[in-house]
Every structure is written in C-alpha cells, then in structure tokens.
Amino acid sequence: MQGLPFFHRLFTLAEAGRWSSPGWLAGMFVAWLIVDGSAMAQPPGSGPSTSAIKSAVALEGALVEAIASAEKSVVAIARVRRLETGEAQELDPTDPDFIPNEYASGVVVGANGLILTNYHVLGDPKENDYFVWIQRRPYKVQQVEKVEKVVAGDPWTDLAILRIEAEGLESIRYGDVTKLRRGMIVLVLGNPYAIARDGQASAGWGILANTGRKAAPRKRSLEAGNQRETLYHSGGLLQIDARLNLGTSGGAVLNLKGEMIGLVTAQAPLDGADRSAGFAIPTDKVFRQTVEHLKAGRKVQVGFLGVSVQPLSVERQQQGQQGIRVDQVLAGSGADRAGMQVGDVITRVDDRTIRERNDLFLYLGGLPPEARVRFILRRGASAGSTGEEKQLEVVLSKRYSELAGPAFGDEPDRSWRGIQVDYSTAMPPRLFRQSGHLLDPLGCVAITHVQLDSPSWKAGLRAGSFISHVGRTRVENPLQFYRLVEGLDAQVRLVRRGEDRQDDLVLVPSQ
C-alpha cells in the first residue's frame, strides 16, 4: 500500500518534534488523503491519479490566493513603554535591528489609516507609544493631538482602533460567519515574534474546531466573584486548531476566499495547561457595530438587564423543563421596572431559546442601553408544574463593564456644570457599594464624577449620589438628563436622593 511510506515519513518527522503544530499535522493528513489516499485506488506502480494531483494543486492554489488577497491588510504592531518622565524611550523602533519586547498584529479597516487590533494589546495609551509596520513602511502612533493616535478602545469586546497617517490602504474584507461550520479550513495571518515588520505577514492554517467557545477566566475576574470580564467570557469565540504563536493577537483569521471571519485574541492558559487553545472574535453583527463605533471615536455602551440567574434544579431538568431561574432582581433596573420577579423562569429572549445562563448574557451583552427586549417566562413553575407563561418587554439600562480596564475614545465624556451622570446601574462597583441603597427604584441617574470647585461641587453634589428629577421632571437615563438641562442659563433645581432616602433639593448655579 502506498499509504505506508507516507505514515513512515509522518512518524519520522513526529519523532523529530515536527508535529508540535496541530495545523502542520492536519495539513499532512489532508495531503495524505488527497494524494496517497487516492493513489491507493490506483494499480501498483501507476502513481497518483491526475484527478488527485489536480485536487491537491487546487487546494494549494486556494490557500495561496486567499493569503495574497488579504496580506496587504495585515500589519505588525509594537508597543514601546514611555519612561516615568513621560518621554519616549531613547531608541529607534523603526531601525530594522530593533527587537520589540511587546508586539502584536492588526488589520486595516479604513483606507485612511485606521487599524484594528485587540484592546489588551495596547495597555494604557497614556503610558505607551505604538509603532505600526505595513508593507515595510513604519509609522509611529502617539497619544497626542495629532493624526496618528489611539482612536478608541473597548474592554468588553477586546477591540481597539489606531490611526496612522497613511492613505490608500487596502481594508480587510469580512466574511459571512453565519455559514461557518466545524471542520472548515481556516488561515491565520499575523506577526508572530515581531517578524512581520519585513512586510510579510506569517501564515498558518488549520480547521475551525468550534464556533461558540468561552474565554478562559482570568485571575482578576475570578477574584472579583467570577464576573464576566468581557462579552466572550459568556461564549461566542471561534476556536481554531492553527498554532497561534506570541504576537498573533490582533491578526486575521480567514476563510478560503481570503475574507476575515475572526480576529485572533490571545488567552492565558489555565493553570496546569501547557498552552491555550486558539481563539478568535467572530466578525459578526456585534463585532462590526463595535468597530464602526470605535472608528468614530465613541465609547461602546453595553446593555444591562439587572438580574442574577441560576440553572433549574436537576429534578426539573429531568422532567424536560428548560430555561433559567431568576435568583435576584436589582432595584431600579430594567427588569425590576418591567415586573420581573424572583422565581420567574426565562425560556426565550426575542427569538432565542434560553437553556443556560451564558445564552442570556451573550445575547444581552451585544445590545446597547435602551434596547427593548421581549422575554417569555414562566411564573409559578415548580418541580410539579411548568407554571403560567408570561411576556414582558424590558428596556435595558447600562452595565458597568470595565473590569478588564477603562474604555477610551476621541469623543469626550459629556458633562454639565462640572458633573457627569450615567445610568444608575453603570455606577462603578466601589461607589455602588457605598450608596447603592439610595437608588430611587422609580428612576434616577447616578453622579459618577464632580469637578473640583465647579458650580455643582459648590452646590454640594458628589460622586455616588443619585438625581431623580430636574425641576419637576423625573429623569431615568443620562440622555434625558442632558436634554433637560441643555441650554439652561439660570439656576437649576435638582432633586437628589438623601442619606435618609428622603429627597434633597439642590440648587445648582450657572457659574
């Protein structure tokens, strides 16, 4: 059998350590199926059939064309830390002999110099400069008032946008992720070990192992009570078996048409694991909407329901009941105001069946504040009864989602007379622990920042307080608050929730 010499060669290479790459092993196996496997059907001594060779050449050609069509849109990125004085390091990262200590990949998403990468790649833009190489051309990115800068970053989706002073770049093309299936061949282009500065993105390949994986929990999220540090800690990641070396974060995962179906995101391996699985953020609707927000310099806001949930008991699951049980409802949240109760069993959200907690949080985590969501739930359900079916429409508030770091963007935070307000549910956890009991369940906004010596500061307003009314009008979200106070020149009457849960009248002067 002609397959036997192939296996002899395969195991010889394996003994030499060559099959440490899953993509290499998969590629060798596919090659054997196409060439040696087809040859087994031929008479001894006749060699591979013409059709088998054509199939192998066609696959090879598809890989080459896919890489060629996308590689001009893949860039190399280096992060260079500033000195404690704030000055740049005394070195020239554009020198070909310079070897960066921190590096990653990115993709072009705007012909005018917009580069997409991972949020975690950047660190703090105030402490770092960034260098981008595209087709051998180096660009320096500084967080100053210039064209070249960090435009925006979002920790919830782990996406960020840089801008370089370049024109006529070739943007990456997106593929249709709704057609992805396990076993499909995928390609990866990136900057492993910072070697793609020479203008040639390194390529790898493998198969799509799964389409709905969860990100591995990180130490700080576990210490914070197993909170979802990013959207993808609830699932939704692509898992690929291509080898992802250090520096591939922010690189492109491609289909055989050369279209990007995912952006590589690095994941720390769990304790005891030799290496992490290969994960990528899919280029789905949430991804594309987030990228457009970031390109415009806007911070991404995330919808929030306001409940904690638990799985059904084993007994109820064995009886065929499906859904998740509401364990707690946050006062003043969208769920509370819509009438959701502890004990309700959520079975559907919009057109999606809910079987476990991650189904719920992954879907809601891709929606913005003020989104209207239809819930189907069962009330009064027990081990012996499925209860009464009810429908509720919930208007989402906003979640605090900066466990992985602060969001940033070109668009300045809105303020009025020295205060910044936000949804009550978006108050930082430290402030909420101190004053959450003062929240008005009928509707209010939270003060998240007060500028020292501003009119609001002098009037006695402080971060951690809640405002329920502007004049005689109740305010339920920050957009409504700013709309009511916009253009007012005279002294403004606000109603603040007091220490004893009584309303305090606060008169804020114009200056």
Q: Which residue has the higher pLDDT, 89 or 138?
A: 138
Look at residue 403 and tell me if it is in a domain. no
* pLDDT band, very low/low/confident/very high, at 87 (cuts 50, 70, 90): low
Q: Do 317 and 283 belong together in one domain?
A: no
Q: Do 202 and 153 belong together in one domain?
A: yes
Mean pLDDT of 117-125: 92
Quick: pLDDT tens for 307-346.
999 999 998 888 888 999 999 999 889 999 999 999 999 9
Number of domains in the chain: 4
* pLDDT band, very low/low/confident/very high, at 54 (cuts 50, 70, 90): confident
Yes or no: say if 226 and 217 are a contact pair by the CB < 8 Å rule: yes
- Identify the pLDDT of residue 59: 86
- Identify the pLDDT of residue 357: 92
Whether pLDDT at 40 is above 80? no
Q: How many Å from the N-terminal Cα to the C-terminal Cα in the chain? A: 90
Mean pLDDT of 34-38: 48
Distance CA 48, CA 123 (A): 53
Mean pLDDT of the chain: 84
Q: Do 478 and 466 belong together in one domain?
A: yes
**Helices of type H across 204-295:** 219-223, 285-295
107 is written with which tokens? 């993709």
Q: Do 187 and 275 belong together in one domain?
A: yes
Whether pLDDT at 156 is above 80? yes
Helix (H) / strand (E) containing 197: none
Mean pLDDT of 21-44: 50
Whether pLDDT at 65 is above 90? yes
Q: Do 273 and 136 belong together in one domain?
A: yes
Whether pLDDT at 120 is above 50? yes
Q: Which residue has the higher pLDDT, 254 or 406?
A: 254
Whether pLDDT at 97 is above 80? no
Burial environment of residue 301 by CB neighbours within 10 A (0 to 12, 13 to 18, 19 or more): buried
Q: Residue 322's domain spans which residues?
A: 306-395
Mean pLDDT of 101-123: 94
Quick: pLDDT tens for 225-250.
445 678 998 899 999 988 788 889 99
User: What CATH number should be reported for the domain holding residue 165?
Assistant: 2.40.10.120
Q: Do 342 and 477 belong together in one domain?
A: no
Look at residue 400 and tell me if it is in a domain. no
- Identify the pLDDT of residue 57: 86
- Identify the pLDDT of residue 404: 74
Question: Where is the domain boundary, 285, 300, 315?
Answer: 300
Residue 81 CB: number of other CB atoms within 10 A? 14
In this structure, the strands spanning 260-264 and 345-349 are unpaired
Q: Do 221 and 365 belong together in one domain?
A: no
Look at residue 129 and tell me if it is in a domain. yes
Give backbone dihedrals phi and psi of 11, rounded to 5 degrees, phi first: -70, -30
Distance CA 510, CA 418 (A): 10
- Identify the pLDDT of residue 14: 41
Q: What percent of the chain has pLDDT over 90?
A: 54
- Identify the pLDDT of residue 56: 82
Q: Which segment of 3-7, 174-178, 340-344, 349-353 scores lowest on mean pLDDT? A: 3-7
Q: Which residues contact 475 (CB under 8 A, 6 or more apart)?
A: 443, 444, 445, 467, 468, 469, 481, 484
Q: Do 249 and 280 belong together in one domain?
A: yes
Quick: pLDDT tens for 257-267.
999 999 998 65
Yes or no: say if 284 and 177 are a contact pair by the CB < 8 Å rule: yes
Q: Do 132 and 275 belong together in one domain?
A: yes
Look at residue 449 and tell me if it is in a domain. yes
Residue 207 CB: number of other CB atoms within 10 A? 18
Yes or no: say if 77 and 117 are a contact pair by the CB < 8 Å rule: yes
Look at residue 83 and tell me if it is in a domain. yes
* pLDDT band, very low/low/confident/very high, at 100 (cuts 50, 70, 90): confident
Whether pLDDT at 22 is above 70? no
Mean pLDDT of 36-48: 53
- Identify the pLDDT of residue 114: 96
Question: Where is the domain boundary, 300, 332, 356?
Answer: 300
Distance CA 73, CA 111 (A): 10
Quick: pLDDT tens for 195-224.
888 888 999 999 999 998 888 766 554 444
484 is written with which tokens? 């009511």
Question: Where is the domain boundary, 395, 421, 440?
Answer: 395
Radius of gyration of the chain (CA): 27
Q: What percent of the chain has pLDDT over 70?
A: 82
Look at residue 113 and tell me if it is in a domain. yes
Q: Which segment of 95-99, 198-202, 461-465 scores lowest on mean pLDDT? A: 95-99
Distance CA 422, CA 467 (A): 10
Q: Do 132 and 62 belong together in one domain?
A: no
- Identify the pLDDT of residue 130: 92
- Identify the pLDDT of residue 174: 98
Going by C-alpha positions, the residue among 206, 294, 295 that lies closest to residue 248 is: 206
Q: Strand pairing partners for 105?
A: 76
Look at residue 402 and tell me if it is in a domain. no
Look at residue 408 and tell me if it is in a domain. no
Q: Which residue has the higher pLDDT, 12 or 461?
A: 461
* pLDDT band, very low/low/confident/very high, at 49 (cuts 50, 70, 90): confident
User: What CATH number should be reported for the domain holding residue 438?
Assistant: 2.30.42.10
Going by C-alpha positions, the residue among 153, 171, 157, 366 that lies closest to residue 260 is: 171
- Identify the pLDDT of residue 445: 95
- Identify the pLDDT of residue 185: 94
Q: What is the pTM of this model?
A: 0.85
469 is written with which tokens? 């009314």
Q: Which residue has the higher pLDDT, 224 or 192?
A: 192
Q: Do 66 and 165 belong together in one domain?
A: no
Mean pLDDT of 426-443: 84
Q: Which residues contact 383 (CB under 8 A, 6 or more apart)?
A: 313, 315, 316, 319
Quick: pLDDT tens for 268-317.
444 444 455 689 999 999 999 999 999 999 999 999 999 999 999 998 88
Q: Do 168 and 44 belong together in one domain?
A: no
